[in-house]
Chain A
């Protein structure tokens, strides 16, 4: 309207940050950190100790956070893109993890669920599980993209059927991988003191960053998410792009599933990655991304995922009943929704403006007195 002739308002660093969506997860992170600092600073203690194989490993709550937050952060990558492009969420990621994990163990164990040695190299099993997970992603994606079904409804199908499919893959058995090298991926590589899942997550972040940096995926996904018709008129194929995001999420699912099954060297398809879809969606929301699609900030989602794990670990530390965890997460969601409401933001902006005005006033006064 009227602002086009006005120079952009002066922005202080803080005000700039406020406007950036990454402000939300950072604020949450700071809040939790301050709480922990006051309640018990030992939360931040990290020690170097030897594990049962005699290798040095780092211990401490923070290590736990970056370790256990990995799967969630990886899923958040895919969920962010899916949300941005299709304006909806995939609620089948937990079930899809059960499937891809089952496939992986099925390949590794062969027909004998108690096989003493691995029947196939880990990389082969991993690649096969990737392909399967991406196929299921493509299934979800094509329902959404070509049949124009609401994402939540479309993925409800796999959400319902996924764990049964996972059970079927291993004939209702719970296979166990006995080879210790398989467990390195969910725990520690001998001699490396930092948990492997964190490395895997970092690799995923870098790969995703590169994907967004060296292709135009980010622009396309946002365009399609914001205005499908315009995107089409600018030569994009919105259906294909939506499908791609679901396939990408499938890949994320496979990686997260790999870490999950490696942690315990086995899989319980009925409870593995239970309710993780809700956490992944929450991570996206906590990252300040609109769940109705459009613009996204990947870094913000990743941070959101770690904040959720941070919260979980904090609650475990204070021995909050695990039953009550969802209630605490609900509180976070409520705060989030309120914080991102336009009314509150406007009030906040007014407040900072006033503060800044006061500051400038006093500065001016000081300058005058000097």
Chain B
């Protein structure tokens, strides 16, 4: 082992039936280092992490840890835990029905009786030291996803780990929470903990990381010092090709002016739902891309859910192209040409066990009717058309959607809605948790669709994505629509100000 290195993985191989997930991958982590593990979806990041944490057992290769003379054997998550390797996964793996404190300490007892009071107290101390605003006695399910994520990190931190793996920890956090997390990461770094950071957010990588290891197609591309690797180069290494710069997206569409005097495709007045948002007005015109922005929990998702009828609509009037219509259920919205890609892909988007083909045809099939099923040939045609159009990577049209990577799942759901040829497309966080390439693809696609006359509402946690695509932004704060920004107002700063509630320009 090298001097100062904490963890070395050498020549790791791992394959699954039909897939070589990892081929001869090396990885080195030093003490007090935050090390980004980068790669597109399917590059092998998660597999490498799972090998390290004992979820999968490697086929070949050696893992060395500081303080162990010989290569260590990691056969189960328990082994990994004993060796001081802790993980916080992308998907929350805690028990929602237990309390926060129980979640922090569960499965770590050494057979002693549990003293609830002291456990809660210990948990409270820990959470406070990490700046997480939650009580140990609270039930985990009652916390926001962001807090749940933080609790998962707190659990790992408390286990005195040498190696902490953060697998997409920030994908459900808003910026202030991310900032808190980074403070925490730096604190741990100062203590000498090695952190492996897996993320899709390039900004975050450049903000906290010291080194980057890039994987592609299960193979190691290289290990780089952060200062020696400009962003563009990183992206091209991940994709394996030169990427036309993301900044170029907007340029070809900046001239697509929307006629603000035309009749709105969709116009809602005084909309509200059971999810507790204040009644709001909203409209969108042909060819327009607008977006809802705001912090997590500000009600931006609830707004679009109300438009689509996904939550129970309790009031308001809706006009589609001038005629008044009723939208109470998703099927109503679909019949009027509205499509909705939901925020939580796993819970609300995919039908996991069904094939890509069935997932693509579902919405159009429901719209077409119970007695008019598509023939298999027709369904294949649809599926193949969109697999090609959106470049969906799947073994076949009959592959269950759950075995696809996140980005490709998202594309399938997008395909599902595009197949219905909507007049109005709502995309709630379509780019969350997916790789850079797909993100760019989706944004480009939105702009293309808008230029063809579709209207699109877009929600994203990444403000720059919205700035790049939207011509109008509606700002939400505390479940209220607090502002509308257009034209020159569309800058990071004005958005921040509006979200924060400053009474400067932008609000009306």
Give chain A's interface residues, CB within 8 Å of chain B.
Answer: 1-9, 213-217, 219-220, 222-223, 226-227, 229-237, 294-295, 349, 353
CA gap between A220 and B372 in the complex, in Å: 13
Chain B residues with Cβ below 8 Å from A233 are: 308, 310, 330, 340, 342, 348-349
Q: Give the residues in chain B near A229, CB-CB below 8 Å.
A: 347-348
Cross-chain contact A4 with B394 (CB below 8 angstroms): yes
Q: Are B350 and A230 touching (Cβ within 8 A)?
A: yes
**What is the distance, in angstroms, from B206's C-beta to the closest C-beta of chain A?**
26
Residues A7 and B395 in contact, CB atoms below 8 Å apart: yes
Q: Which of B18, B334, B348, B365 contacts A216 (CB 8 A)?
A: B365
Name 17 A/B residue pairs within 8 A (Cβ), A-sorted. Answer: A1-B46, A1-B405, A2-B21, A2-B42, A3-B395, A6-B18, A8-B396, A220-B370, A223-B351, A223-B362, A226-B351, A230-B347, A231-B351, A233-B349, A234-B334, A235-B334, A295-B353
Q: Is A4's CB under 8 angstroms from B405's CB? A: yes
- Tell me, yes or no, whether B217 is within 8 Å of chain A by CB: yes
Q: Which of chain A's residues have a CB closer than 8 A to the CB of B18? A: 3, 6, 8-9
Residues of A within 8 A of B42 (CB): 1-5
Which of B330, B331, B342, B354 makes the CB contact (< 8 A) with A223? B354
Nearest CB in chain A: distance from B311 CB, A? 11
Given pairs A227-B350, A234-B363, A236-B331, 10 additional interface contacts (CB within 8 A): A1-B41, A3-B19, A4-B405, A6-B18, A6-B395, A219-B361, A219-B373, A226-B351, A234-B330, A235-B329
Contact with A along B348-374 (1 / 0, CB 8 A): 111111100010011101110111110
A contact residues around B352 at 8 Å (CB):
226-227
Closest Cβ neighbor of B21 among chain A residues? A2
B404 at the interface (CB under 8 A from A): yes
Question: Provided the pairs A219-B362, A232-B330, A234-B363 are in contact, do residues A213 and B354 lie with their beta carbons within 8 angstroms?
Answer: no
Chain A hits for B366, CB < 8 A: 216, 220, 234-236
Q: Do the beta carbons of B351 and A216 come within 8 Å of each other?
A: no
Chain A: minimal CB distance from B494 (Å): 33
Contacts of A219 in B (CB 8 A): 354, 358, 361-362, 365, 373
The CA-CA distance from A219 to B416 in the complex, in Å, is: 14
Residue of A nearest to B417 (CB): A234
User: A215–B394 contact, CB under 8 A?
Assistant: no
Q: Which of B43, B334, B340, B351 has the most CB of A within 10 A?
A: B351
Question: Are A230's CB and B394's CB within 8 A?
Answer: no
Q: 8 smallest A-B Cβ distances: which pairs?
A: A235-B331, A9-B18, A4-B393, A3-B19, A2-B21, A235-B366, A8-B395, A216-B373
A348 to chain B, nearest CB (A): 11
Residue picked from B394, B408, B416, most chain A C-beta under 10 Å: B394
- Whole-angstrom CA separation of A344 from B41 in the bound complex: 29
- B47 close to chain A: CB less than 8 A: yes
Can you name the residue of chain A whose Cβ is closest to the Cβ of B375? A213
0 or 1 for each of B394-423: is its CB under 8 Å from A? (1 = yes): 111001000111001000000010000000
- Asked if A4 meets B408 with Cβ closer than 8 Å, knowing A214-B371, A219-B373, the reply is yes
Residue numbers in A under 8 Å from B362 (CB-CB): 219, 223, 234
Q: Is the CB of B353 within 8 A of A4?
A: no
Residues of B within 8 A of A (CB): 16-21, 41-44, 46-47, 217-218, 308, 310, 329-331, 334, 340, 342, 347-354, 358, 361-363, 365-367, 369-373, 393-396, 399, 403-405, 408, 416
The residue on B at minimum CB distance from A9 is B18
Q: Which residues of B contact A235 (CB under 8 A)?
A: 329-331, 334, 363, 366-367
CB neighbours (8 Å) of A7 from chain B are 395
Q: How far is the CB of B353 from chain A (nearest CB, A)?
A: 5
Do B348 and A226 touch (CB < 8 A)? no
Task: State A92–B330 Cα separation when bound (angstroms).
Answer: 34
Inter-chain contacts of A236 with B (CB < 8 A): 331, 366
Residue ID in chain A nearest B395 by CB atoms? A8
User: Chain A residue with minimal CB distance to B50?
Assistant: A1
Given contacts A2-B42, A3-B403, A4-B405, contact A230 B371 (CB under 8 A): no
User: B374 to nearest A CB, angstroms?
Assistant: 8
Write the chain A residue with the least CB distance to B345: A230
With most chain A CB atoms within 10 A of its CB, the pick from B350, B370, B416 is: B370
Q: How far is the CB of A76 from chain B (nearest CB, A)?
A: 21
**Given A232-B330, A233-B348: A2 in contact with B16 (beta carbons within 8 A):** yes
Contact A227 B404 (CB under 8 A): no
Q: Give the docked Cα–Cα distance between A220 and B353 (Å).
A: 13
A2-B47, A234-B330, A236-B366 are contacts. A227–B218 as well, Cβ < 8 Å?
no
A2 to B329, CA, bound (A): 37
Question: In the complex, are the beta carbons of A216 and B370 less than 8 A apart?
Answer: yes
- The chain B residue sitting closest to A223, CB to CB, is B351
Q: How far is the CB of B228 from chain A (nearest CB, A)?
A: 28
| A3 and B16 within 8 A (CB) | yes
User: What's the nearest-Cβ distance from chain B to residue A221, in Å?
Assistant: 11
- Give the complex CA separation of A7 and B217 in angstroms: 13
Which of A213, A216, A229, A232 has the most B CB atoms < 10 Å from its CB? A216
Q: In the complex the two chains form, what is the Cα distance from A185 to B86 in whole Å?
A: 67
Complex: how many Å from CA A9 to CA B18? 5
Residue of B nearest to A232 (CB): B330
Cα of A94 to Cα of B365 in the assembled complex, Å: 36
Contact of B17 among A216, A217, A237, A353 (CB under 8 A): A353
Distance of A223 from chain B, by nearest CB (Å): 5
Q: How far is the CA of A214 from the CA of B375 in the complex (A)?
A: 9
Q: In the complex the two chains form, what is the Cα distance from A211 to B216 in whole Å?
A: 47
Q: Is A214 in contact with B353, judged by CB distance below 8 angstroms?
A: no
A243 to nearest B CB, angstroms?
14
CA distance A353 to B15 in the complex (A): 13
Cβ contacts under 8 Å, A223 to chain B: 351, 354, 358, 362
Task: Enumerate chain A residues within 8 angstroms of B372, measured Cβ to Cβ.
Answer: 216
B405 lies within 8 A of A230 (CB): no
* Least Cβ–Cβ distance between B327 and chain A, in angstroms: 12
Q: Do A230 and B370 have beta carbons less than 8 Å apart?
A: no
Q: Which residue of A lies closest to B335 (CB)?
A: A235
Most buried by B among A2, A220, A236: A2
**With a CB–CB cut-off of 8 A, which chain A residues contact B19?**
1-3, 6
* Cα separation A2 to B19 with both chains bound (whole Å): 7
CA distance A237 to B332 in the complex (A): 12
Please indicate the chain A residues that have their CB under 8 angstroms from the CB of B373 in the complex: 213-216, 219
Q: How far is the CB of B213 from chain A (nearest CB, A)?
A: 17
Most A Cβ at <10 Å: residue of B20, B308, B366: B366
Q: Give chain A nearest CB distance to B221 CB in angstroms.
A: 15
In the complex, A176→B180 CA distance in Å? Answer: 80
CB distance from A355 to the nearest CB of B (A): 14
State the Cβ distance, B335 to closest chain A Cβ, in Å: 8
Q: In this complex, which of A1, A216, A295 has the most chain B Cβ atoms within 10 angstroms of its Cβ?
A: A1
- Is there contact, CB below 8 Å, between A2 and B218? yes
Are B351 and A230 within 8 A (Cβ)? Answer: yes
Q: Do B405 and A222 touch across chains, with their CB atoms under 8 A apart?
A: no
